[in-house]
Structures are given as C-alpha cells and as structure tokens.
C-alpha cells in the first residue's frame, strides 16, 4: 500500500519507473568504486605509467638560416619571363630521416616558372635530420623565397639592374 501511495505522490506513470528510480537512488548512496565491477577489460584495470614525449630537435642546415639564404641565392636562377615579378614563394617540404627533401609543394606561389625553380632549389637541399631523443624523425619545414624583380633577394631593399 505504501508503494502505491509513493507512486501516486511522485507521479510515476508505471511501476517500472519507480523500481528504476529506487535502484538508482540506492546505488548513488552506496560508496562503490569502478574497480568493484569486472567489465572484462584486464588491460584497463592497472594504470599504465605515461611516458613523456621527448621534444623534437629541429633539422639543421649547414650555416643555419643564413646558410639557407646563401644556398638559395646561389642556386636560384633568374627566370627571364618573370623579370617584373615581386612577392614571395613559400614552399612546404618534408625532411626525411636521412636529411633529404622527400616531398615539396608550393603553399604560396607566383608565376609557374618561378614556382618550378623554387621547387628545384628546395629539392637540392640537404639538412641534418630532426631528432626526437636519439631517433631521427621526419619533419615539415617551410622555406620562403622573397622575389624582387624576378630574382631572389633577402635584402629589405628592392634589387635593380645596373
């Protein structure tokens, strides 16, 4: 009789909801841990110690960033059809475990001939590979070619022919 009165007072539409409510309220009162239940996943029962990922050491070019600039200035050949072009070419490349460029693509380009020349120069580059701990790893690297009057120029002033 008390159960029916309780169901009417709390407006449970059926006895099924009342039983579910009662079981959940009893379970919430009891202090139980998840370890009490066996879910059949033994690998999750014990906490595995987390390993800290070691930082990646960037790949290095002989001479640093100035060495990269000198290499680009030396290897980049002026394209006659792009004499009046000015802007930047950004090449994204992947340096593999051996320090060679395995993939290269134009992120921001200019004229087709200039883009092809920038890709040719990048593919000739050789780096000291990136490392994570003692292991050599692949690394994505962006190289910018500042173009002024159809030539590579790392100076802040525009280049002119004399």
The predicted pLDDT at position 23 comes to 73
Residue 159 is predicted with a pLDDT of 47
pLDDT tens, position by position, 129-142: 999 989 999 999 99
81-87: average pLDDT: 83
Answer whether residue 1 shows pLDDT above 50.
no
Give the three-state DSSP class for 33.
coil
pLDDT > 70 in the chain, percent: 68
**From the CB of residue 131, how many other CB atoms can be counted at a distance below 10 Å?**
18
Closest CA to 144 of 87, 89, 63, 101: 89
pTM of this prediction exceeds 0.75: no
How far from 116 is each of 6, 70, 92, 121, CA to CA, in Å? 81, 19, 13, 9
Tokens 């002033």 belong to which residue?
Answer: 157
Q: Where are the domains of the chain?
A: 2-44, 56-152
**Candidates 3.40.50, 3.40.190, 3.30.1050, 3.30.1150; CATH matching 56-152:** 3.30.1150
DSSP 34: G
* Beta pairing class for 56-57 and 130-132: antiparallel
Query: Which of 75, 47, 77, 45 lies closest to 61, judged by CA?
Result: 75
């Amino acid at each position: 009789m008390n159960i029916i009165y309780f169901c009417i007072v709390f407006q449970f539409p059926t006895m099924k909801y009342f039983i579910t409510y009662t079981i959940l309220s009893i379970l919430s009162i009891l202090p139980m841990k998840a370890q009490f239940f066996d879910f059949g996943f033994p690998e999750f029962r014990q906490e595995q110690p987390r390993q800290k990922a070691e930082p990646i050491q960037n790949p290095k070019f002989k001479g640093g960033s100035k060495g990269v600039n000198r290499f680009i200035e030396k290897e980049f050949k002026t394209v006659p059809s792009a004499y009046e072009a000015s802007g930047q070419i950004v090449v994204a490349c992947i340096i593999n475990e051996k320090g060679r460029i395995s993939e290269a693509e134009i992120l921001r380009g200019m004229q087709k001939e200039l883009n092809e020349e920038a890709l040719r120069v990048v593919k000739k580059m050789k780096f000291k590979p990136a490392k994570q701990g003692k292991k050599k790893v692949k690394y994505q690297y962006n190289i910018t070619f500042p173009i002024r009057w159809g030539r590579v120029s790392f100076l802040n002033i525009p280049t002119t022919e004399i």
